Amino acid sequence: MLSSLHTYRTANGSAVFAPFPMPENPVLSEILAKLPTAPDGFYRSVEFVQPIPDAVLREAQTLFDTNRAPVEDCYLVDTRERDVRVYADGLRGLIYGAYALVQDAEDAEDGQSVRRGLLWDLPRCPFRGLKVYMPAPDDLESFTRTVDLLLSLRYNTIILEVGGAMEYKSHPEINAAWIDYCREMARYPDRANEIQNKTYPWDKNSIHFENGGGRWLTQDTVRGLVEYCRDRGMEVIPECPTLSHADYLLMPHPELAERSDDAWPDVYCPSNPDTYRLVFDVLEEVVDVFRPKIMHIGHDEYYSIGICPRCRGKDAAELYAGDLTKIHDWLAERGIRTMFWAEKVLDAIGLNGEHFGGSEARVRHPDGTVEIVRPATWRAIDLIPRDVIAHHWYWSIAEYFDDEFNKRGITLWYGNFAPVNFLDWNRRLAQGAGGGSPSHWSSLEDATLQRNGVFLSLFFGVRMFWDETWDDARFPEYLDAVFEEMFTSCNRKTLAGPHFDIEHTATIERRYQYLSSVPMQVERDTVGRYEVEYEDGEVLSIPLVYGLNITGKSRVWERHYQGELYDNPGLAERDTWSFDSKLAEVSYTTLPIRHGGDTWYRIAVPNPHPEKRVAAVRVVKTCADEGDILLGSFAVM
């Protein structure tokens, strides 16, 4: 439980809050409003204090017998007396402290008592983030809900991909072209994959047409999202893909593309001065809206290199470093630090000798000649400024890639961070890594976040970021606790009211589908429904969506070192733990439970008519797959 995840804590009994005056800060008061109170409660106030007074710090050090110094985002909560105090050096720490009080009550057996004592929480790393796309303009709530969840889990940063999904006043042609582009990519489910992987003989970038729901947000709307984050102490890093993933710039400006023979160009020409007139116009507007401390400039999947007449013959590493440095310097003049996806500066040779990232890819033809199909860019690591932040997403291919950043003193933050797969966390943190951020490469809403395993990553991430006793060997124990936390957190409202408690599973086995550049297809994924018939004949239908509230019973709960698991030379993610993706995607709405060798799933469904007796429950399978839906238990709560 989250309430047991503290660096230091003393506890002596517990007590309930009496009705108490709310703090002036509306965010803190909104969180504390979730605290249950009783007329005869013990606690009578919560005071928020910043910065942490020296005397409080010294008392904590003595009490916990440590000489630890405070770090950014650490906080103390003192519940020993009737007047509760929360201490931190910034708003974010105070918010974490408020959540700590609420979570203590939520996890208590009576659902309302807060333990009496002193707690002091210190994060293990400074960067704890999530990368997402812009929400759709008519679903901003998905964004604010995600930010609230992040704060309750003690995260501090959200990376928001801007791309074509924000209004550009100086270049409205970008927004107009973005709409057409996204509409084309969404025309049928395989369209984006077809363009990326089946149309041209060269490597192409993944297509982020789900960004902004395939539309764009006005600058005022985006300002509102940024303000929502800043009011909560949440850092916002805008991500503006440049050099590569530049489709949003190139659709209306094909004259700037590196390839003239690609109807869907994704790389711009870094030798054309006109490129930078456009790039800096766009960045100027993003800076104006976000006022960021850090800007993420993409630079991943740079494949079309040295093709155009201006670039032909130039060194690939110099082209890459030249572009990155130009943008870095422009940002630095404005006091903004540069972050980038870092695989192209790695001579990324995998554990089986495969060439990825910035390494050279060559083909030996039967006549003995060599063709370089992807020139090496890795030497750029020594050509770019050292104060960049490397968003390192190749951690899963080989652990030793970390060293390239650490030995140069380049800040290393893990990207596409997947806690359940991550190997050797404690050692890598000690070597210099500054934290990590999972990514969500799809439309921003709960169902897709869940099915891409993002919720599992976020709930596991809390432990890795905050638990100093973290031990890879204790994974099975963590997994049980995290599944429970996720289920409770997702279903808190439902479980508190009249509901049906259902345990079920299926002998239907479908392949796992990661949702990126392919939308979620609810109709395809629906395998059946429950028909709940009340005594008066009214029928409630509960849809069963594979991967969302039910999946197959044959799940693997153990994880294994991937390097020894598969004899598959093409497998990139070899230096990781394996983990069953179908178990990941179904957690949050459901609680996976083991019965013998089978996995069952508990779900909670609101009962709209608690006053009526349920006369019958029917299982209706509607898909043509082999196998059945198995209803184990159905309880009216």
Name the DSSP class of 550: B
Residue closer to Zn ion, measured from CB, 171 or 310: 310
Alpha-carbon span 273 to 296, nearest angstrom: 22
Q: Which is nearer to Zn ion, 249 or 308 (CB)?
A: 308
Site of tokens 């395993």: 453
Least distance from C-beta 347 to Zn ion, angstroms?
Answer: 23
* Residue number, 2 or 316, with CB nearest to Zn ion: 316
Helix (H, G, I), strand (E, B) or coil at 264: coil
Do you find a cis peptide bond into 70, omega within 30 degrees of 0? no
Nearest 10 degrees: Cα torsion 29, 238, 463, 422: 170
- Residue 291 or 314: the one with the smaller Cβ distance to Zn ion is 314
Nearer to Zn ion, 158 or 269 (CB): 269
Shortest Å, Cβ 256 to Zn ion: 9
How many residues bind Zn ion (CB under 5 A)? The answer is 6
Residue for token pair 């489910």: 189
Residue 552 is classified by DSSP as: B
Cβ contact 592:495 at 8 Å: no
| Count of positions (residues) in the chain | 637
Residues 290-329 that bind Zn ion (CB under 5 A): 308, 310-311
Chain-centre distance of CA 5, in angstroms? 21
In the shown chain, the binding pattern of residues 255 to 274 toward Zn ion, with x for contact by CB under 5 A and - for none, equals ---x----------x-x---
Q: Least CB distance from residue 332 to Zn ion, whole Å?
A: 25
Q: What is the 3-state secondary structure (H, E, C) of 166-207?
A: ECCCCCHHHHHHHHHHHHHHCCCCCHHHHHHHHCCCCCCCCC
| C-beta of 10 vs 271, nearer to Zn ion | 271
Shortest Å distance, C-beta 259 to Zn ion: 9
Least distance in Å: CB of 310 to Zn ion?
Answer: 5
Nearer to Zn ion, 327 or 532 (CB): 327
Q: Which amino acid belongs to residue 368?
A: G
Cβ-Cβ contacts under 8 Å for 354 (sequence gap 6 or more) = 569, 570, 572
Nearest to 200 by CA among 153, 258, 150, 143: 258
What angle do helix axes 91-107 and 140-152 make, rounded to 10 degrees? 80
> Taking the complex as a whole, how short is the minimal distance between the CB of residue 265 and Zn ion, in angstroms?
11
Closest approach, Cβ 373 to Zn ion, in A, equals: 18
Query: At closest approach, how far in Å is the CB of 369 from Zn ion?
Result: 25
Dist. CA 72–CA 16, nearest whole Å: 30
Q: Is there binding between residue 279 and Zn ion (CB under 5 A)?
A: no
**Residue 192: strand pairing partners:** none
With respect to Zn ion, which residue has the nearer C-beta, 310 or 337?
310
Would you tell me which residues interact with Zn ion (CB under 5 A)? 258, 269, 271, 308, 310-311
